[in-house]
Amino acid sequence: MPLIDPVTTNTGSDKTKEWQNKLVGKKLGDAHDEITFARSDLPKETRIIEPGSIVTKDFKPDRLNVHLKEDGTVSHVDHQ
């Protein structure tokens, strides 16, 4: 099986942009509004990464990683 380089692999870039547009600057909560996105509407393969969290380095191209700032708003997302 060939090795996959997550830096140069373009897997998920359109999906990443779509989720970036939906989530960046919002908080995660129970319902949708102007400043909140419902956690229940995130894909099944989602990992919420809070500041200082320790995460595994395994590569799953369909997993959405949602990175939060200290105040709980989404700073960025990626697929890996």
Number of independent structural domains in the chain: 1
What confidence category does residue 1 fall into, taking pLDDT thresholds of 50, 70 and 90? Answer: very low
1 part of a folded domain: no
Domain containing residue 41: CATH number: 3.30.10.10
Average pLDDT, integer, range 17-26: 96
Of 28, 65, 61, residue with least CA distance to 47: 65
For residue 8, being part of any structural domain is answered with no
20 is in which domain, residue-wise? Answer: 13-79
Specify the pLDDT at position 12.
54
> What pTM does this model have?
0.81
> In this structure, is residue 44 part of a structural domain?
yes
Whether 74 contacts 67, CB under 8 Å: yes
Q: C-alpha angle with apex 54: 27 to 23, nearest 5 degrees? A: 20
Residue-wise pLDDT tens digits, 38-61: 999 999 999 999 999 999 999 999
Q: How far apart are CA 19 and CA 78, in angstroms?
A: 9
What number is the average pLDDT over the span 8-33? Answer: 85
